[in-house]
Structure 1
Amino acid sequence: MNVLIVGGGGREHAIAEAVSRSAKLDKLYCAPGNAGIAELAECVPITPMEFDKLVKFAKDNQIDLTIVGMDDPLVGGIVDAFEAEGLRAFGPRKNAAILEGSKAFSKDLMKKYGIPTAAYETFDNPEDALSYLENAKYPIVLKADGLALGKGVLICQTKDEAIEGVKSIMQDKKFGDAGKRMVVEEFMTGREVSVLSFVDGKTIKLMSSAQDHKRAGDGDTGLNTGGMGNFSPSPFYTEEVDKFCREHIYQKTVDAMRAEGREFKGVIFFGLMLTQDGPKVLEYNARFGDPEAQVVLPRLKTDMIDVCEAVIDGRLDEINLEFEDKAAVCVVLASDGYPLSYEKGKEIKGLENFRGKDGYYCFHAGTKFAEDGKIVTNGGRVLGITAKGNTLKEAREKAYEATEWVTFDNKYMRHDIGKAIDEA
């Protein structure tokens, strides 16, 4: 089969690695890809939002399956565009991708179908939001309604911070059109856990739990980022938590979307908060998480193409979804200054050290080829260094060992990814 992956980050590199292991693969393409993905696929200079060009490329190159990694094209309707031309695409249609595309929609859905989540209010103008905040309980959470690269969430400790947050989201449009509407949510405490799942409209099959580190600095300090590292499985995702979520969250979400006429096919990422009152949904994503995909997909034993095909055809119940009984840890190597300002174009050395190293992965998130053919930095998050181990502690030690194999000017990372493992 000829397969096209849409996207160019660490998540798409992890997807490409999983697809490359399939016995059914003939030729792999990625649009636009990056310098790391180029080792596995032919990279095509088409951006993820150029639907017409992507459709034409798929037709011209007899693409049998397109896998969409990113949120923007999914929410924008790329799967609808492909299906309209008789092409097979893995991911939710536009009317289902709204599960991630609108926080107000997802909160209303959970409220309607009794899926546990934080109490909230939705606002379409800053005046009403400011009025509500006068008598609110603090700390409180402000969320831009739309997509904001994982950064549209503000935790406000005081009323003054919240007022400034409303100004930032709704008036100054810090997150662009994502801030046209805003959700104000109660602040929940507990451990955050993520669970990825494949969904075919009616059947849901879970992948693995994972735990992200969003803050830029050690000890969960600094600004929110797209993710500085991850580990899987989470020791805090117990059998008791799993049982509760299967009964009250996972299948109920799939059934709720179908009942709303928004059949969901693809990946649902459940962002959970393990509160004193039980697990609650923090957020949904309508695709693989990044860097969650980098600690989950390397352990996938089932053929990735088989899974994607079964999801599209609504026969996921026929698939025996299997993962290695191992742990994985991913440490993100970033450009110093991320997520604000940082320099690009720094030469990356040592990438060859990962070749032939079983259980070690170097997923490219922000890289490109320079004119002289060298691989250079091209983003805030540059590489995701992932290692597998028999235990989380072993995987963590291996991942940090491997971060030393590669160097570039202004290389930055957190040194406490997976430290929570020691507390489990």
Structure 2
Amino acid sequence: MKILVTGKGGREHALITALSESLEAHELFAWPGSDAIASLAKRVDAASLPELIAWMKSNAIDLCVAGEEAWLVKDEGLANMCEQAGIPCWGPYKEAAQLEASKAFAKHFLKRHNIPTASYTVCTNAEEARAALTEFPIVLKFDGLAAGKGVAVCLTREEAEEFITDVMEKRIFGAGNLVVESCLIGPELSVFASVCDDQYHILMPARDYKRIRDNDQGPNTGGMGAVASREIVTPEVLARIEREIVQPTVKGLIADGLRYRGFLYFGLMLTSSGPYIIEYNCRFGDPEAEAVMPMVRGDFANYVFQAAKGSLKPELLTFAEGWSICVISASAGYPASSRNGDVISGLGKVEGARVYHCGTKKNEAGQFATNGGRVLAVVANAATREEARAKAYAETDKINFEGMQLRSDIGQMHFD
């Protein structure tokens, strides 16, 4: 089977690795891919989404797997264009992908289908947003795609007004509204499901760490690490999440005529009143994918292929017992900026752990160097959380580059 994955980061590296480890050998392609991904999948040279669709059609691609979210809503939408070309796509259609592309769309969907979420106001300008600052802490969300950086949890009015200025006046993320919502309190949880029309399959839950520094201090990032395990929450809590959030979401999609085939991420807050949904992502999370994918057992490629064609087969997958810990290393200046070109050393010393490349590129000398904000994900699996955590950090310590940033409490905070 010929499979193409869209994207270039650590999530896509993890997905492509899992596809390469499926029961049968498949011919893998990536667009645009990366120098690290190129060791597993041939990179496709296409200047635009229409060019990619034409290339896939002429090269008889059997399956397209959506990694990055942006292509789902660009042009006519990746899945929509694949359908027109007769190519099965594991990724939702453009209309359904608005659940991630528009925070306001998602909040209206949640309210319409009585799914637990924080109260909110949609603001069209800075004046409206400032008027909506009635309590603190408060959460501000840019109503659009912002690579995981469009959300701010503001403890003070000063922090909130600074974010409003950046988003609504300086337009650092481009045009778009701002969602102002109440701040929910409790541990966060990431639940992933494969959704295929009216069918769904809940995968291994995870938890990520969004802020740059230990103890959840500093600005939000795309994620500085993640933990995955069946043991993160009790079966009773997971059953409640399924009953109150996952099932109503799938039913809501059907009721609204929104066709969905792909991974669906539920970003949750486990409050004292029960689970509430913070956000949807219309693809696998990052860095959660890097933590979850090494735990996948079975025929992942065939599982995704069958689901993309409309037949969800949970029996094709199982998940390993124990824990998976992912530690992200970030470049100097991240998340405000990122410094590229710093040579990475020690990659060849890593043993017994996986290394996924989030933002790297080979220099003229053939060495891997930094090429983005989040640079590498080191992932270790073990029977206990403590063992997995110790292994992930021991192997991360073997890697070095100038300006390297990482948290020291991944897999510890929110558990102790």
The interval holding the TM-score normalised by the smaller chain is over 0.9
Residue by residue over 1:52-80, the C-alpha shift from the partner in whole angstroms, topping out at 9 and shown as x without a partner, is 12112212322111111001001221111
Note if contact 2:299-2:316 (Cα within 8 Å) is conserved in structure 1. no
What is aligned with 1:100? Answer: 100
What is aligned with 1:321? Answer: 317
What is aligned with 1:399? Answer: 392
Structure 1 254/75 Cα, relative in aligned 2: closer, same or farther at 3 Å? Answer: same
Could you tell me which of 274, 282, 290 is aligned with 1:278? Answer: 274
What is aligned with 1:330? Answer: 326
Residue by residue over 1:120-149, the C-alpha shift from the partner in whole angstroms, topping out at 9 and shown as x without a partner, is 11122333333333xx22221111111111
Residue by residue over 1:85-108, the C-alpha shift from the partner in whole angstroms, topping out at 9 and shown as x without a partner, is 112221001011111111111111
Q: Describe the SS at the equivalent of 2:146.
A: coil
Q: Describe the SS at the equivalent of 2:339.
A: coil
Aligned length: 414
Q: Describe the SS at the equivalent of 2:135.
A: coil
Note if contact 2:215-2:413 (Cα within 8 Å) is conserved in structure 1. no
Structure 1 93/297 Cα, relative in aligned 2: closer, same or farther at 3 Å? Answer: same
Match runs of 1:296-315 below 5 Å: 296-315=292-311
Note if contact 1:205-1:321 (Cα within 8 Å) is conserved in structure 2. no
What is aligned with 2:170? Answer: 172
Could you tell me which of 408, 412, 415 is aligned with 2:405? Answer: 412
Residue by residue over 1:268-307, the C-alpha shift from the partner in whole angstroms, topping out at 9 and shown as x without a partner, is 0010001011110010000010110001111111211122
Structure 1 67/171 Cα, relative in aligned 2: closer, same or farther at 3 Å? Answer: same
Distance 2:230 2:106 in 1: 25
What is aligned with 2:235? Answer: 239
- Which runs of no fewer than 5 residues in structure 2 stay unpaired? none
Partner AA of 2:16 in structure 1? A
Which deviates further from its counterpart, 152-161 or 376-385?
152-161
Partner AA of 2:136 in structure 1? Y
Alpha-carbon offset, residue 318 of structure 1: 6.0
Distance 2:253 2:152 in 1: 27
Partner AA of 2:114 in structure 1? G
Partner AA of 2:105 in structure 1? F
Q: Describe the SS at the equivalent of 1:345.
A: coil
Match runs of 1:57-206 below 5 Å: 57-76=55-74, 77-133=77-133, 136-177=134-175, 180-206=176-202
Q: Are 1:339 and 2:335 counterparts? A: yes
Which deviates further from its counterpart, 182-191 or 319-328?
319-328
Q: Describe the SS at the equivalent of 1:368.
A: strand
Distance 2:372 2:157 in 1: 35
Alpha-carbon offset, residue 330 of structure 1: 0.5
What is aligned with 1:52? Answer: 50
Distance 1:74 1:270 in 2: 18
Distance 1:314 1:26 in 2: 21
Distance 1:289 1:364 in 2: 15
Which deviates further from its counterpart, 340-349 or 183-192?
340-349
Alpha-carbon offset, residue 337 of structure 1: 1.6
Alpha-carbon offset, residue 421 of structure 1: 6.2
Q: Are 1:33 and 2:29 counterparts? A: no
Residue by residue over 1:219-260, the C-alpha shift from the partner in whole angstroms, topping out at 9 and shown as x without a partner, is 211111000001112755222211211111001101101110
Match runs of 1:242-253 below 5 Å: 242-253=238-249
Q: Describe the SS at the equivalent of 1:348.
A: coil
Partner AA of 1:119 in structure 2? S
What is aligned with 1:292? Answer: 288
What is aligned with 1:42? Answer: 42
TM-score normalised by structure 2 residue count: 0.95
Alpha-carbon offset, residue 187 of structure 1: 0.8
Note if contact 2:23-2:298 (Cα within 8 Å) is conserved in structure 1. no
Q: Describe the SS at the equivalent of 1:245.
A: helix
Alpha-carbon offset, residue 375 of structure 1: 1.7
Q: Are 1:225 and 2:216 counterparts? A: no
Could you tell me which of 348, 354, 358 is aligned with 1:365? Answer: 358
Note if contact 2:224-2:407 (Cα within 8 Å) is conserved in structure 1. yes
Q: Are 1:24 and 2:17 counterparts? A: no
- Which runs of no fewer than 5 residues in structure 1 stay unpaired? none
Structure 1 413/46 Cα, relative in aligned 2: closer, same or farther at 3 Å? Answer: farther
Partner AA of 1:369 in structure 2? K
Distance 2:40 2:59 in 1: 17
Alpha-carbon offset, residue 217 of structure 1: 0.9
Partner AA of 1:53 in structure 2? E
Partner AA of 1:90 in structure 2? W
Q: Are 1:215 and 2:208 counterparts? A: no
TM-score normalised by structure 1 residue count: 0.93
Q: Describe the SS at the equivalent of 2:242.
A: helix
Note if contact 1:202-1:314 (Cα within 8 Å) is conserved in structure 2. no
